[in-house]
Amino acid sequence: MKRALITGINGFTGRYVAHELELAGWEVWGIGSQETSDITPNYRQVDILDREALVEVVSEVSAQSIVHLAAMAFVAHNDADAFYRVNIVGTRNLLSALAANSQTPDGVLLASSANVYGNSTEGVLSETAMPNPANDYAVSKLAMEYMAKLWMDRLPIVIVRPFNYTGVGQSESFLLPKIVSHFRRKAEVIKLGNLDVSRDFSDVRSVAYAYRRLLETKPIGQTVNVCSGKTTSLREVLQLAQQINGHSIEVQVNPAFVRATDVKELRGDPSKLTSFIGERNMPSLADTLRWMFNPSP
């Protein structure tokens, strides 16, 4: 049985990746900052900034594949220092622990972010687009990528740049869950930021599938977009939510939510991903929103 170690397993993405791997017959282990986990009994509480603790867990588990999801992932988070500590130093601690272990893993998948592209003028973004990070989160993720390249002669690393994705269980601090929550409870008003931004949205389940397939196909040394190749504006998301839920809501633009560093449009080119894992079944954004409005048991 193949064994995988997922960092940040208790997080939104970690839960779906763990489920995807288990369905495919993997033995899943996880680490996180919480004391316990309801996802797998093979869980260890570890602070990713504690290198010695990481060394112990990596040695204990000796997993064939690593999925590194532990990160500060909310762009609007006010503690810029935390982005750099967790996303760069934490990742370096993990790579150092993996390189020091007697058993080298077959694959190490590192989750970066499409935010590294920033306000690019290149239209549909392939992996060759010039990075242009526009906030501390994106800078920390790009720096993490460069740091990880220092380990590629010792570890079989694949870097993924996921574009926006969502699904049941994502925090309401993120945009689409916030919108769904307001419509579900029939709120009269929702306060948002810039309504004219467009994003390439995916379903978290298709992202988890892509991660598993990349672990299996092992395009070592590659950086890969994980995206749908389609964009939807915030105004269109609101229209979809109203059509699905039947509720009308007043939208107010709160200047406090409008950030000068907001990326206007992010649309990815999934060609490289498809070349590695083949075609995949991707729910439409409307289908994902229907699932979020009516979660399956």
Assigned domain for 103 exists:
yes
Assigned domain for 259 exists:
no
Is the CB of residue 127 less than 8 Å from the CB of residue 272? Answer: yes
Assigned domain for 260 exists:
no
Assigned domain for 224 exists:
yes
- Tokens representing 159 are 């870097």
| Average pLDDT rounded to a whole number, residues 252-268 | 79
**Which of the residues 16, 43, 84, 137 is marked catalytic?**
137
The pLDDT of residue 208 is 98
The pLDDT of residue 134 is 86
- The rounded distance, in Å, linking the Cα atoms of 103 and 239 is 52
Residue type, 72: M
Assigned domain for 125 exists:
yes
Evaluate if pTM is beyond 0.85: yes
Name the helix (H) or strand (E) containing 107: strand 107-111
- The rounded distance, in Å, linking the Cα atoms of 218 and 220 is 5
Q: Give the CATH number of the domain where residue 53 resides.
A: 3.40.50.720
Torsions phi, psi of 190, nearest 5?
Answer: -130, 135
158-212 confidence digits (pLDDT tens): 999 999 999 999 999 899 999 999 999 999 999 998 888 889 999 999 999 999 9
- The rounded distance, in Å, linking the Cα atoms of 77 and 257 is 12
Q: What is the three-class DSSP state of 174? A: coil
Does the pLDDT value for residue 123 go beyond 90? no
Is the CB of residue 214 less than 8 Å from the CB of residue 65? Answer: no
The pLDDT of residue 265 is 80
Assigned domain for 23 exists:
yes
| Average pLDDT rounded to a whole number, residues 117-129 | 84
Assigned domain for 136 exists:
yes
Domain tally for the chain? 1
Which domain range does residue 101 map to?
3-166+203-229+267-280
197: Cβ contacts below 8 Å, ≥ 6 apart = 233, 234, 262, 263, 264, 265
Assigned domain for 286 exists:
no
Does residue 43 have an active-site annotation?
Answer: no
